[in-house]
Structure 1
Amino acid sequence: MHAYVGATVIDATGAPPRPDQSVVVVDRTITIVGPAAQVPIPAGALVHDVAGKYLIPGLTDMHVHSEPETGDPRHFAALYIANGVTAIREMWGRPVLHDVRRQVRSGELLGPRMTIASPLLDGEPALWSDVPDAPVVPIGSSGQARRAVAEAIDTGADFIKVYSRLSPEAYRAVIAEARRRDITVAGHRSDNVPFLEQIESGQRSFEHLFGGIWPAASPDVDRLEAAMARIQTSPEFHLGSWLKQVTQVEWDAIASYDRATANSVFERLVAADVAYTPTLAVHAVIDQPESIRLDDSRMDYLVPGTPESWDFLRERIYCGGGRSAEEAARHRELLDWRRATVGAMNEAGVRLLAGTDSVGPGLFPGFSLHVELEQLVAAGLTPMRALQCATLEPARFLGREHWAGTVEVGRVADLVILDDDPLVDIRNTQRIHSVVVDGRHVGPRERAELLRTAERIASEQPLPQ
């Protein structure tokens, strides 16, 4: 039993902050939230004096790819918890992640609550087909699509992850089979199916801002959607060649962007109760790869060889072998458009989910969610709304709103205690004093030890051959 006394509670419901509160946690549940002067501390409770601090719900990263490169799940689990990330949605359906989740659930491992995707269901050739051991299932027919959905369910997937190159036949078969078997579909838009159709299809969330919205937000939608469908990838680096071609379609689309048409698209997202995970953190590094710093102190938490792999991915995938000065300028402008589009979606009431796409180049497990919050505020969201995108909205999307996502009586005790007010400056979510995950208190000393453990595990890994 724990009692947190004196903090300002920002409960993420949208209510104003409440200063000088006591929050009582029994086992793993919040049992009392109220003014410190009026709340009796239960006998036997461990009292934490948090006067002057700020208490928010635990954070959720709704788009991660946890890479078990070290073979020790404490590595990435520690980085999430130390950064106040108490829940994640895994978008790579690796079998090892199910083992990690079992360890977290049993209490053997201190880590975040995990929601785990199927392998990527993509067309042929799949965008990740030239990457060894990528969890991808290439699909060329409706029969393969139905079998892939069934196999994903049999292996414990929580939802089906669809990817960019699915054919119309395969995409529609995935959606139909998932509906029949009552499992959620999330992921990329298909290049080959008009975005407006996909909104109505039953896909529950769309990830990233590649291509999707802008063709549909143009009066020239038919031509732009046809350009998406004509994309042909190169066998050397499918993903890199795809990014170059998608960028060209995006650039063409913003030239005829129409605000009224865009608002009608957003209204359809709202009406269909479809969520969007913009992952501005990854777009910031794809559109501005020069922002990736290999001397970043957080590199200490990543395995040896990361700088070399990041350099390769940055040059061969993100930049497609290099960018001209004109292409670099276009990307900078596109990033501004991405932020503006997210701001417009928020104003229209689209459900936004905070996600990072870590661990790609320039991204760090746990740490980068705070970057995403900064990007959401830069897009025009208030700090409160940005916080809700990492707390309340993920809980709603995952069907947990009755027991998670806010600081209220009856909710699970996933909490972050901050030294400064995140509503004054969203960067204050990084000023973490302590974390509570599933009722377990992680104080400053244990939090520092988690970071040391992650650094040690990473440093002990051999250099890649």
Structure 2
Amino acid sequence: MRLFSRLLPSLGAAGATLLLAVSAAGAQSVTRAFTGATLIDGTGRAPVRNATLLVRDGRVVAAGPAARVTIPANAERVPLAGKFIIPGLINAHGHASSVANLDTYAAYGVTTVYSLGDEPAEVFAARDAQRATSPRHARVYVAGPVLNPTSPDDARAQVAAVADRHVDIVKIRVDDNLGTSPKMKPEVYRAVIDAAHARGLRVAVHLYYLDDAKAVLAAGADYIAHSVRDQPVDEAFVTTLRQAGVCYSPTLMREVSTYVYETTPPFFSDSLFLAHANREWMATVQQPARQEATRTSVSAQRYKAQLPVATRNMLVLHKAGVPIAMGTDTGPMGRFQGYFELMELEMMVNAGFTPAEALESATRVAAHCLKLDAELGTLEPGKWADFIVLDASPLERIQNVRRQHSVWVGGTRLSVP
């Protein structure tokens, strides 16, 4: 995977697309039968002991009890007795600034990333290549530049520009960064939403305040990409979200990242974290002056104080039947891709989700929210065979999602970068 990461920036979009397609093509001409594991297929059905997962050309052919799945004579058998298979994790709000980032996500079992903004050409090329064949890193979907128009005419022009780049979703910010910057005006974000919908594109919104969340929903926003953090959500907002079928991505670890580097966090000594962590980021956030600045930062302390509000709002919405899509906003400095997603799952369970519900939020529900459920999110016939093999059941203890034996995308095992 690192070889492709080094080559892609120098090739340009077309060359990178070709290289990625060629690199994966040979890996998808084989039939594999994964046998003996307990299968947690992501549908919500009971786990299947001694299951067989049959994969051909990167897609699931059959999945179920061994007695009900016929293995072709020419299939490569992958024995996994005592292991557990779950769908690959989907990050419904991350950021990828390089294909190397996609390697890192995959190294922790995040096999799909919905990147909400500012991806370079090589990431667009990776997105294009995966339409035909499975990549050797996490799948990626892109938003392109985060739009920041200042007038309705500017809004329509910016939407046209990203639509011409064939983005998967449009991203805007309706936030004043705790009173430190101008907020996009209603007539402007309404123009963005209307223009995007006219072109068949959905709109994801970065926000902070409940009043803004209500307003963008009324304007037709399709996806709430952060928590409401200023106050508890009310019944009117809950009802509107549920009736509209709009999904909500809490990104709790984004809030943690704003203040956790007041000191050196305990996870900096975790061997799993250290296996793939960005060491430059680690050095930066451990600088004494930076840690002191975080301790005295008004915004950091505000985000820290509001995290319990965000956490309670997530649980209220979940219990009311609003689809919650696991997301983290990883990608900016200090928001460690892949590892933070595992921590997000733990935060969800600590908030009141069951382990099964947290996993569904990161698989089936995320795929549904991102309109990817025809291809991803569960291990069912016809879908891409993206999955993680674990040494212990995550349904018994969510922390077991860290105990990864291997990660597979399109039925091919990924090497660790």
With the shorter chain as reference, the TM-score category is 0.7 to 0.9
Q: 1:300 to 1:48 in 2, by over 3 A?
A: closer
SS at match of 2:327: coil
Q: In structure 2, what is the equivalent of residue 179 of structure 1?
A: 197
| Alpha-carbon shift at residue 106 of structure 1 (Å) | 6.6
Q: In structure 2, what is the equivalent of residue 24 of structure 1?
A: 54
Given that 1:57 and 1:406 are in contact with CA atoms closer than 8 Å, whether structure 2 keeps it comes out as: yes
CA distance in 2, matches of 1:433, 1:88: 21
Alignment of 1:334-413 (within 5 A): 334-413=306-385
Q: 1:202 to 1:370 in 2, by over 3 A?
A: same
Q: In structure 2, what is the equivalent of residue 95 of structure 1?
A: 120
CA distance in 2, matches of 1:342, 1:303: 29
Match of 2:219 among 187, 190, 201: 201
Match of 1:119 among 138, 142, 145: 145
| Alpha-carbon shift at residue 361 of structure 1 (Å) | 4.6
Q: In structure 1, what is the equivalent of residue 159 of structure 2?
A: 149
Between 1:351-360 and 1:190-199, the stretch displaced more is: 190-199
CA distance in 1, matches of 2:94, 2:69: 39
Q: In structure 1, what is the equivalent of residue 207 of structure 2?
A: 189
| Alpha-carbon shift at residue 156 of structure 1 (Å) | 2.4
Structure 2 letter corresponding to 1:204 = D
Q: 1:308 to 1:142 in 2, by over 3 A?
A: farther
CA distance in 2, matches of 1:316, 1:85: 29
Given that 1:414 and 1:437 are in contact with CA atoms closer than 8 Å, whether structure 2 keeps it comes out as: yes
**Residues 280-310 of structure 1, C-alpha deviation per residue, up to 9 Å, x if partnerless?**
1121232544365394453564556424544
Q: In structure 2, what is the equivalent of residue 322 of structure 1?
A: 297
Alignment of 1:425-436 (within 5 A): 425-436=397-408
CA distance in 1, matches of 2:90, 2:216: 26
Q: 1:37 to 1:118 in 2, by over 3 A?
A: same
| Alpha-carbon shift at residue 38 of structure 1 (Å) | 4.0
SS at match of 2:145: strand
Q: In structure 2, what is the equivalent of residue 424 of structure 1?
A: 396
| Alpha-carbon shift at residue 395 of structure 1 (Å) | 1.5
Between 1:106-115 and 1:37-46, the stretch displaced more is: 106-115
- Check if 1:55 corresponds to 2:65: no
SS at match of 2:90: strand
- Check if 1:5 corresponds to 2:35: yes
User: What's the % identity of the aligned pairs?
Assistant: 31
SS at match of 1:373: helix
CA distance in 2, matches of 1:347, 1:81: 30
**Higher alpha-carbon Rg:** 1
| Alpha-carbon shift at residue 119 of structure 1 (Å) | 0.8
| Alpha-carbon shift at residue 411 of structure 1 (Å) | 2.0
Q: 1:101 to 1:317 in 2, by over 3 A?
A: farther
Given that 1:184 and 1:204 are in contact with CA atoms closer than 8 Å, whether structure 2 keeps it comes out as: yes
CA distance in 1, matches of 2:288, 2:184: 23
Between 1:99-108 and 1:139-148, the stretch displaced more is: 99-108
TM-score (norm 1): 0.73
CA distance in 1, matches of 2:85, 2:341: 18
Match of 1:84 among 109, 134, 146: 109
CA distance in 1, matches of 2:105, 2:283: 24
CA distance in 2, matches of 1:405, 1:322: 39
Q: 1:314 to 1:362 in 2, by over 3 A?
A: farther
| Alpha-carbon shift at residue 385 of structure 1 (Å) | 0.8
- Check if 1:44 corresponds to 2:74: yes
Given that 1:57 and 1:414 are in contact with CA atoms closer than 8 Å, whether structure 2 keeps it comes out as: yes
| Alpha-carbon shift at residue 335 of structure 1 (Å) | 2.2
**Residues 337-357 of structure 1, C-alpha deviation per residue, up to 9 Å, x if partnerless?**
222221111101111111111
Q: 1:166 to 1:22 in 2, by over 3 A?
A: same
Given that 1:285 and 1:291 are in contact with CA atoms closer than 8 Å, whether structure 2 keeps it comes out as: no
Q: In structure 1, what is the equivalent of residue 17 of structure 2?
A: none
**Residues 91-128 of structure 1, C-alpha deviation per residue, up to 9 Å, x if partnerless?**
12323221333455576951222110031123xxxxxx
CA distance in 1, matches of 2:134, 2:357: 34
Q: 1:318 to 1:377 in 2, by over 3 A?
A: farther
Q: In structure 2, what is the equivalent of residue 169 of structure 1?
A: 187
Q: In structure 1, what is the equivalent of residue 241 of structure 2?
A: 269
Q: In structure 1, what is the equivalent of residue 253 of structure 2?
A: 281
**Residues 246-272 of structure 1, C-alpha deviation per residue, up to 9 Å, x if partnerless?**
xxxx3xx4xxx5xxx723311211111
TM-score (norm 2): 0.81
SS at match of 2:234: helix
Counting matched residue pairs gives: 375
Given that 2:261 and 2:286 are in contact with CA atoms closer than 8 Å, whether structure 1 keeps it comes out as: no
Alignment of 1:301-312 (within 5 A): 301-302=276-277, 305-307=280-282, 309-310=284-285
| Alpha-carbon shift at residue 430 of structure 1 (Å) | 1.1
Structure 2 letter corresponding to 1:93 = D
**Residues 33-72 of structure 1, C-alpha deviation per residue, up to 9 Å, x if partnerless?**
222234332111111111111111111111112233xxxx
**Residues 170-203 of structure 1, C-alpha deviation per residue, up to 9 Å, x if partnerless?**
1111011112111110021387974322122221
Between 1:159-168 and 1:302-311, the stretch displaced more is: 302-311
SS at match of 2:413: strand
Alignment of 1:230-241 (within 5 A): none
**Residues 126-174 of structure 1, C-alpha deviation per residue, up to 9 Å, x if partnerless?**
xxxxxxxxxxxxx211110100000011122211100122111211110
CA distance in 1, matches of 2:45, 2:205: 32
| Alpha-carbon shift at residue 383 of structure 1 (Å) | 0.8
Given that 1:315 and 1:322 are in contact with CA atoms closer than 8 Å, whether structure 2 keeps it comes out as: no
Structure 1 letter corresponding to 2:320 = A
| Alpha-carbon shift at residue 277 of structure 1 (Å) | 0.7
CA distance in 2, matches of 1:436, 1:281: 25
Q: 1:345 to 1:40 in 2, by over 3 A?
A: same
SS at match of 2:143: strand
CA distance in 1, matches of 2:159, 2:303: 36
Structure 1 letter corresponding to 2:43 = T
RMSD of aligned C-alpha atoms?
2.9
Given that 2:117 and 2:145 are in contact with CA atoms closer than 8 Å, whether structure 1 keeps it comes out as: yes
